[in-house]
Amino acid sequence: MTKLPIIIDTDPGIDDAMMLTLAFANDDALDVRLVTTCSGNISQDKTNYNARTFLSYIGVSVEIARGLEQPIFRELEVAEDIHGESGFGNVQFPAPTLPVSKRPAITAMLETIMTSDDKITIVATGPLTNIAALLLAHPEVKQKIERISWMGGAAVGGNMSPMAEFNAYVDPHAVEIVFRSGVPIVMSGLDVTHKAFVTINEAKSILNIGTEFAEKAYYLVTYYLDVIKKTPFHEENYDQVLHFHDVCAVMYLLKPELFKGQDCYVEVALEGITSGATVVDYTNRTDKAPNVHVLHTVNREEFVAEFVKAVEIISDRLK
């Protein structure tokens, strides 16, 4: 089986850690060439540290490069109210053994992509700042990127404002650059990620695996239960389900048959009350060519089963 070569750009973050769990548990299918960190859920200092400490803990050897500090034209807005001050709720991991790469993220991505014999897929689970900077500074990489699988955006309703999802809201100018790049894009927006939930009972099945890692995973994801009710956009069943938003961006690469979506023209609002809103032309009323494959449905039961399997795989490796 040929592995899919990927770069992961992430801002860990609780669900980012769960995404990394899925990606590295499936190393028979995914060849993670590089991990880069973006500023989003928390500051760059914290996202890079968290990526290194989490991946060190699960026994991964991979280059982890530090990305840009701020969005392209804005001050950074973080989500410590959701992920906790550290980004990992109340869960602690040992100090990292993996170092910060000597290459900055943009250079590391450029060199990884351009020296690869195969096209690279980019998984992005935070604001698209690093990806946009890469495409602006080095447009020659476009022909060597297979696609970008991004967790972000929303067709209907936001979680940062009435219309904007967090990752798009933090750096909408980066979204515009990436969406206009011509690189194939798969968007796992809130429309599908809100359907990719895990119930409390299903989360307890993770805890029941009985390993230290499974316990940490359980307490990471259930941290949301105490904080999400404080946000103005929580759903009525917030105390019964856990959303694994970022996991979708990797799960789609592993199990595309679990998802349904369609090719659409998508544009992002840059200013005002709609800033960060990703406007999806589901009905082709703009007569503009589709630029994004927008996911909207997921087989939730199979999604959960695949994720639990990933926790079991990592748990077995750490025994």
Q: Please determine, for residue 1, whether its predicted confidence score (pLDDT) is greater than 80.
A: no
> Between vectors from CA 29 to CA 55 and to CA 143, what angle results, nearest 5°?
95
Q: Which amino acid is at 282?
A: Y
Q: State the average pLDDT over residues 92-121.
A: 97
Q: Please determine, for residue 200, whether its predicted confidence score (pLDDT) is greater than 90.
A: no
The verdict on whether 245 is a catalytic residue reads: yes
Which class does domain 4-318 fall in? alpha beta
Q: State the average pLDDT over residues 29-47.
A: 96
Lowest-confidence pick of 10-14, 21-25, 63-67: 10-14
Write down the catalytic residue from 83, 245, 293, 296: 245
Please state, rounded to an integer, the average pLDDT across all residues of the chain.
Answer: 93
Q: State the average pLDDT over residues 277-283.
A: 94
Domain boundaries, the chain: 4-318
**What are 3's two structure tokens?**
């592995």
Q: State the average pLDDT over residues 95-100.
A: 97
Per-residue pLDDT tens digits for 139-175? 999 999 999 999 999 999 888 888 999 999 999 999 9
Per-residue pLDDT tens digits for 222-274? 887 766 655 554 455 555 678 889 999 999 999 999 999 999 999 999 999 89
Q: State the average pLDDT over residues 25-32.
A: 98
